[in-house]
Amino acid sequence: MCLAIPGKILTINALDDTFRTGKVSFGGIQKEVNLCMVPEVQVGDYVLVHVGVAIGKVDEEEAQKVFNYLKDMGEVEELQTPPDGK
Amino acid sequence: MKYLTEYRDPELVEEFIKEIHRITTKPWTLMEICGGQTHSLVKNGILDMLPDKITMVHGPGCPVCVTSVSVIDEAIYLAEQPNTIMCSFGDMLRVPGSKKSLLEAKAEGADVRILYSPLEAVQLAKQNPDKQVVFFAVGFETTAPANALSVVHADQMGLDNYSILASHVLVPPAMEAILSDEENLIDAFLAAGHVCTIMGIDEYHPVAEKYACPIVVTGFEPVDLLQGILMAVQQLEKGEYKVDNQYARSVQREGNRLAQDTIQKVFAVSDRVWRGIGNIPQSGYEVNDRYKNYNARIKFNIDLPLAEENKECISGDIMKGLKKPKQCPNFGTKCKPEHPLGAPMVSSEGACAAYYHYAAQE
Ligand code: SF4
């Protein structure tokens, strides 16, 4: 649970500085992600996401390699948890 | 054992291994901090590729492993309050407290939910105004911005039914505690890449200086780890001790300032008891006074007796690098992933579980 997982930004909803969120796709799994710590990113960019918050930007090639590696290691299963935890 | 061709950059992997063998003349002990790195080293068979003179020991960088028994008891206490939803990252549920785990509390009827993000817990609080929602905020510096942000969100939305049970831990003070232990064997550290993505690398310079210990900020893939090990051994062989950055593609010197600001807004540095290691001064974060209404310890007036650690578990020696998992008399016998005696057997990032899953296949 300590690693950041790269994903691609599909949409951005900017409400204000702390509520800047977006939909991010992680190899097809979509999650709502907070984007306030990476103000420079745009739709189509790749970000490193840790427990629902983007903490840095990565380039596409790096993002894909890292994602595949994490998938092989079984480190992306946490993305499957439903939002109400049930 | 893996074939070289299975790695992302097989030529590079081979080159780094050759170079590490070529330059190593003395015995060195290196510790990787992060549990993700431990998992990767063990699962990818990297330990077998290193020269005999190099010993890798596995540090305390897994929040599941270092959260103290007393804090697990606090989480269970909260989960068992009426009208309360206790939310946590999934790995924490199986960690044994002094009497039971969160999973057992859930089986007995407590409302315990597994969430991907603390921000989802804030949504749950919004959807359930008649319930108290508590998030079990564990983690290293990487996780602190998200946990802090959940408090900021709840505050902006005016939610008075959200709080967090903070058990945050910090890497540099843990390094210092390990290095100043009189039995310390560690010659160099691989620091955790994503922790430094948030915090930057400057806070490691004083540690490298004070203990004459090379520190290499390293990623978690096999090529990263091998390059990090190479950079550390290069320094050791030359008698140098500075902070190097192997993971520059994700780590900038100054880290992520906005993330650091969010942490500072909500948290204050505090003492923290580490499971197996004991109290390390100024090694954690607690919710600060400004946001004390969101601190579950204050809100629920928690005052539990300090819990005893399980004496059968030697996780402290393992996380300080003094022993390997297989040297624990309970490894694989009384203690297995299905019924862990200690926390490092719970998550795949704990050293004991990593050895159990992969090294056991040798
Ligand atoms: S094998 Fe089990 S009992 Fe032994 S140190 Fe690891 S977690 Fe503790």
DSSP for B137-149? EEE-TTTHHHHHH
The residue whose CB lies within 8 Å of the most ligand 1 atoms, and thus the one to mutate among B323, B335, B338, is B335
CA of B214 to the centre of ligand 1 (A): 29
- So what's the pLDDT on residue B6? 63
Cα B73 to its chain centre, rounded Å, is 19
CA of residue B314 to ligand 1 center, whole Å: 6
DSSP letter (8 states) at residue B339 = B
A50 contacts B119 by C-beta, under 8 angstroms: no
Residue B1 has pLDDT above 60, yes or no: no
Q: How far is B320 from chain A (nearest CA, A)?
A: 19
Q: CA-to-CA distance for B199 and B322, rounded, in angstroms? A: 28
pLDDT tens string, chain A, 86 residues long: the values are 678 999 999 999 877 767 899 999 999 999 999 999 999 999 999 999 999 999 999 999 989 988 988 888 888 888 888 888 88
CB contact under 8 A, A81 and B259: no
Q: Is the CB of B328 under 6 A from ligand 1?
A: yes
Whether B136 shows a pLDDT value over 90: the answer reads: yes
- Rounded-to-integer distance, Cα B233 and Cα B199, Å: 25
- What 3-state class would DSSP assign to B61? strand
A17 C-beta neighbours (distance < 10 Å), count: 9
B158 CB near a chain A CB, below 8 Å? Answer: no
DSSP-derived secondary structure letter, B322? S
> Per-residue pLDDT for B362 more than 60?
no
Q: Are strands A5-13 and A46-50 parallel, antiparallel or unpaired?
A: antiparallel
Are B233 and B20 a contacting pair, CB within 8 Å? Answer: yes
The maximal CA–CA distance of chain B, rounded, in angstroms, is 66
Closest Cβ–Cβ partner in A52, A75, A79 for B146 = A52
Beta carbons of B8 and A65 less than 8 angstroms apart = yes
The string of DSSP codes covering B256-275 is: -HHHHHHHHHHEEEEEEEET
**pLDDT tier for residue B245 given thresholds of 50, 70 and 90:** very high
For residue B335 and ligand 1, the question of a CB distance below 6 A is answered with: yes
Beta-sheet strands, E only, within B102-245: 111-114, 132-139, 162-169, 188-192, 215-218, 243-245
Does A48 sit within 8 Å of B197, measured CB to CB?
Answer: yes
Q: Are B251 and B245 in contact (CB under 8 A)?
A: yes
Give the distance, in angstroms, between the CA of residue B109 and the centroid of all CA atoms in the same chain: 29
Give the three-state DSSP class for A1.
Answer: coil
SS (H, E, C) A30-57: EEEEECCCCCCCCCCCEEEEECCEEEEE
Across-strand partners of B67?
B274
Partner residue opposite B90 with nearest CB, options A18, A37, A81: A81
Q: Is the pLDDT of residue B7 over 70?
A: no
User: What average pLDDT is seen over chain B?
Assistant: 93
Q: How far is Cα B295 from Cα A86, in angstroms, rounded to an integer?
A: 24
pLDDT category at B4 given cuts 50, 70, 90 is: low
Q: How far apart are the CA of A86 and the nearest CA of chain B, in angstroms?
A: 6
- ipTM of predicted assembly, 2 dp: 0.92
Per residue in B179-200, pLDDT (tens digit) is 999 999 999 999 999 999 999 9
Beta-sheet pairing, A46-50 with A53-58: antiparallel
B94 and A CB contact within 8 Å: no
Q: What are the tens digits of pLDDT across the range B84-123?
A: 999 999 989 999 999 999 999 999 999 999 999 999 999 9
- pLDDT of B64: 87
Amino acid residing at B130: D
Residue nearest to atom 6 of ligand 1 (CA): B352
Give the ligand 1 atom nearest the CA of B351. Answer: 6
Closest ligand 1 atom to residue B317 Cα is: 5
For residue B305, the 8-state DSSP code is P
- Nearest Cβ partner of B198 from A55, A74, A86? A55
Residue B246 Cα to ligand 1 middle (Å): 32
- pTM for this model (two decimals): 0.93
Is B5's pLDDT higher than 70?
A: no
A81 or B147, greater pLDDT? B147
- The two most distant CA atoms of chain A are separated, in Å, by 37
Residue-wise pLDDT for B12-70, tens only, equals 999 999 999 999 999 999 999 998 899 899 988 899 999 999 999 998 888 888 999 99
Q: Closest ligand 1 atom to the C-alpha of B344?
A: 7
Residue with CA at minimum distance from ligand 1 atom 1: B331
Query: Cα separation of A66 and B220, whole Å?
Result: 10
Residues B241-247 have a mean pLDDT of 97
As given in the structure block, the two tokens for residue B276 are 């197996």
Q: In the predicted model, is pLDDT for residue B226 greater than 80?
A: yes
**Domains of chain B by range and CATH?**
1-362 (3.40.50.11740)
Banded pLDDT at B349 (limits 50, 70, 90): confident
State the distance from the centre of ligand 1 to the C-alpha of B167, rounded, in angstroms: 21
> In this predicted structure, what is the pLDDT of residue B358?
82
B260-307 confidence digits (pLDDT tens): 999 999 999 999 999 888 999 999 999 999 999 999 999 999 999 888
Q: Is the CB of B115 less than 8 angstroms away from the CB of A83?
A: yes
* pLDDT beyond 70 at B140: yes
